[in-house]
Structure 1
Amino acid sequence: MALSTAAVAQATAAPGAPPACTAPTGPYQRQLEQYLKRPVDGVQSPADCEAIRRFQAGHRISPARGYADLATYRALVAVQARSHPNAAGACPVRSYRVTCVDLTRQLLWVQVAGKVRFGPAPIRTGRDSQETRPGWHTIYRRHRDNRSTLYGNAPMPYSQFFDKGQALHGHPGSLFDGGGSAGCVNLSLGDAKALWDLLRTGDRVYVWGTKPGTAG
């Protein structure tokens, strides 16, 4: 029986070497190619695949298989914003802690007097018709092991409520397994715990922008 090209490549790889990278072209191919200084043609090549896979492995994106998916793109946006997430000045600078929620870039960070204390971290905000509400908010309740009473007892670990039931909280599993939340700001479990440890009741939250794919 004839073997596929991928199977042949895997069978002939050096012992201990990773399997050949065979992921197809992804929806965020061009963005990854540009950042990784690959030819920007929007078409996956073996070298593109390897470069994307190395980026995924370096940023703990699973599965790291070289496919330019939404999770990888959101990580890329966070990496690009890392040195100065508030370069555009959209999040107000105050002497106290402000949690900045950028709906357009789907990023969250915390700043004090312009200095970043946390993030930027990828987030998932409200889907169309259930958008995360923009403007100034205040964290008014915190619950470490909260569960949703509206959405099937869904877990909401490290919940920090800031506006009429909308909360910053962890999301078990992938942040990118659907079109958006029901209005909450979802973070990875690790990021949600770090944010929980940093913030307190009474801290301010500022939300602005428009989530891609929503009417805003």
Structure 2
Amino acid sequence: MTLALTGLAGLTGLAAAPPAAAAGAAAAAPCTARTGPYQRELEAHLGRKVDGVQSPEDCAAIRQFQEANGLSPADGYPDVATHREMLVVQARPNPNKAGKCPVRNHRVTCIDMDRQLLWVQRGSKVVFPPVPIRTGRDDQETRLGWHEIYWRNKDHVSTLYDTPMPHAQFFNGGQAIHGAYGDLYAYGGSAGCVNLYPKDAARLWDLLTEGDAVYVWGTKFGTDG
């Protein structure tokens, strides 16, 4: 009986080991993603040699960045989602370093179409850290300048496109800041609204209210304004 129990314990230990071993093997697996559209930008950000050509070491470094920032898939491919997250990370210490969003005593929601970022500041203090966004595509650009949130609808559905607009906060005509399901970077832009990941739109909803200021500047890549 003692031998049987000892054998059983040994088998139990062996059974517990493979998941950890498999996880270790997966983490150490070669990274094989090909060169991507934001290769040079990610190489520069990660301190790699900037040559625009993916190497196994580049791939592993990009994959590590993706894993650290909760991106999926974390496969080492330098795609648009990884590049946008890189811009968020770079902006996080001081998103208004260039001073393009006016500093006021009240809350201002800052929409930077150059970098496709949104944050909220009160005075020089950031009260909602930068998050990635999608603004209007060519011929449906998000309107520039000062705006004001004039209407909010937590469970809005677009009457034009029959699509959900969760946590919609309207600031100019039919343009609103709202959550968007699916690929945030698809279609070359929105129809003029400022799209966020749903989780970010929900957090922003809890912070803002009607009458809050919104300031939009810059040019989304691939548009005229």
* TM-score of the alignment, normalized to the shorter chain, above 0.5: yes
2:114 to 85, 104, 126: 104
How far apart, in 1, do the equivalents of 2:42 and 2:129 lie?
A: 21
Q: Counterpart of 1:144 in 2: which secondary structure? A: strand
1:128-185 CA distance string (max 9 Å, x none): 000000010000010111111101x111101000000100000112211220000000
How far apart, in 1, do the equivalents of 2:132 and 2:195 lie?
A: 9
TM-score by structure 2 length? 0.88
1:61 to 71, 78, 87: 71
Structure 1 residue runs without a partner (length 5+): 1-13
CA RMSD of aligned residues (A): 0.9
- Identity rate, percent: 64
1:162 to 146, 166, 171: 171
> 1:150-189, aligned counterparts within 5 Å?
150-151=160-161, 153-189=162-198
How far apart, in 2, do the equivalents of 1:200 and 1:15 lie?
A: 49
* Matched residue, 1:194: 203
1:15 to 22, 38, 57: 22
* 1:136 pairs with 2:146: yes
* Matched residue, 1:205: 214
How far apart, in 1, do the equivalents of 2:173 and 2:22 lie?
A: 57
Q: Which runs of 4+ in 1 moved over 6 A?
A: none
> 1:42-61, aligned counterparts within 5 Å?
42-61=52-71
**Total equivalences in the alignment:** 202
State the Cα distance separating 1:45 from its structure 2 match: 0.7
Structure 2 residue runs without a partner (length 5+): 1-20
1 or 2, which has the higher helix percentage? 2
Q: Counterpart of 1:142 in 2: which secondary structure? A: strand
1:61-86 CA distance string (max 9 Å, x none): 11111100001001101110111111
Bigger CA radius of gyration: 2
* 1:31 pairs with 2:41: yes
* 1:113 pairs with 2:113: no
State the Cα distance separating 1:99 from its structure 2 match: 0.1
